[in-house]
Protein backbone atom coordinates (compact mmCIF):
# COMPACT_ATOMS: atom_id res chain seq x y z
CA UNK A 1 0.00 0.00 0.00
CA UNK A 2 2.84 2.37 0.86
CA UNK A 3 4.46 1.85 -2.56
CA UNK A 4 1.18 2.58 -4.31
CA UNK A 5 0.70 5.81 -2.38
CA UNK A 6 4.29 6.83 -3.09
CA UNK A 7 3.76 6.19 -6.81
CA UNK A 8 0.49 8.13 -6.88
CA UNK A 9 1.75 11.09 -4.92
CA UNK A 10 -0.39 14.02 -3.89
CA UNK A 11 -1.08 15.01 -7.51
CA UNK A 12 -2.28 11.53 -8.43
CA UNK A 13 -4.59 11.40 -5.44
CA UNK A 14 -5.97 14.79 -6.43
CA UNK A 15 -6.73 13.49 -9.93
CA UNK A 16 -8.53 10.49 -8.43
CA UNK A 17 -10.61 12.60 -6.04
CA UNK A 18 -11.56 15.26 -8.61
CA UNK A 19 -12.57 12.72 -11.26
CA UNK A 20 -14.63 10.65 -8.84
CA UNK A 21 -16.44 13.76 -7.58
CA UNK A 22 -17.00 15.04 -11.12
CA UNK A 23 -18.53 11.75 -12.28
CA UNK A 24 -20.76 11.64 -9.20
CA UNK A 25 -21.89 15.25 -9.55
CA UNK A 26 -22.56 15.01 -13.29
CA UNK A 27 -24.43 11.74 -12.80
CA UNK A 28 -27.02 13.64 -10.78
CA UNK A 29 -28.14 15.56 -13.88
CA UNK A 30 -27.26 13.15 -16.71
CA UNK A 31 -26.82 9.45 -17.47
CA UNK A 32 -23.73 7.78 -16.03
CA UNK A 33 -22.21 7.03 -19.44
CA UNK A 34 -22.32 10.72 -20.36
CA UNK A 35 -20.84 11.75 -17.01
CA UNK A 36 -18.00 9.28 -17.63
CA UNK A 37 -17.38 10.59 -21.16
CA UNK A 38 -17.34 14.24 -20.05
CA UNK A 39 -15.01 13.50 -17.14
CA UNK A 40 -12.66 11.54 -19.41
CA UNK A 41 -12.61 14.38 -21.96
CA UNK A 42 -11.83 16.89 -19.22
CA UNK A 43 -8.97 14.73 -17.93
CA UNK A 44 -7.48 14.11 -21.37
CA UNK A 45 -7.86 17.78 -22.33
CA UNK A 46 -6.15 18.87 -19.12
CA UNK A 47 -3.16 16.66 -19.81
CA UNK A 48 -2.82 17.19 -23.54
CA UNK A 49 -3.96 20.79 -23.95
CA UNK A 50 -3.11 22.52 -20.68
CA UNK A 51 0.01 20.55 -19.74
CA UNK A 52 1.52 19.39 -23.03
CA UNK A 53 0.39 21.89 -25.67
CA UNK A 54 0.22 25.10 -23.58
CA UNK A 55 3.14 23.95 -21.38
CA UNK A 56 1.41 25.18 -18.21
CA UNK A 57 2.08 21.94 -16.36
CA UNK A 58 3.80 18.60 -16.66
CA UNK A 59 2.26 16.01 -18.97
CA UNK A 60 2.17 12.63 -17.22
CA UNK A 61 0.58 9.36 -18.28
CA UNK A 62 0.29 8.62 -14.55
CA UNK A 63 -2.25 11.44 -14.27
CA UNK A 64 -4.38 9.85 -16.99
CA UNK A 65 -4.22 6.52 -15.11
CA UNK A 66 -5.30 8.29 -11.93
CA UNK A 67 -8.15 9.96 -13.83
CA UNK A 68 -9.33 6.52 -14.96
CA UNK A 69 -9.17 5.21 -11.38
CA UNK A 70 -11.19 8.22 -10.23
CA UNK A 71 -13.76 7.64 -12.97
CA UNK A 72 -14.12 4.00 -11.94
CA UNK A 73 -14.57 4.99 -8.29
CA UNK A 74 -17.12 7.61 -9.32
CA UNK A 75 -19.12 4.94 -11.13
CA UNK A 76 -19.54 3.00 -7.89
pLDDT single digits (tens) 29-71: 999 999 999 999 999 999 999 988 998 888 999 999 999 999 9
Taking 90 as the threshold, does the pLDDT of residue 2 lie above it? no
Residue 42: partners with Cβ closer than 8 Å, 6 or more residues away: 22
Contact of 17 with 72, CB cutoff 8 Å = no
pLDDT at 4: 81
Overall domain count for the chain: 1
By residue range, what is the domain housing residue 10?
Answer: 2-75
Q: What is the pTM assigned to this prediction?
A: 0.88
Question: Comparing C-alpha atoms, which of 9, 27, 2, 3 is closest to residue 65?
Answer: 9
Question: Comparing C-alpha atoms, which of 51, 37, 12 is closest to residue 3?
Answer: 12
Amino acid sequence: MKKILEWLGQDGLLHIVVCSILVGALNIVMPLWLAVVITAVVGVAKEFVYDKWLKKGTFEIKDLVCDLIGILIGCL
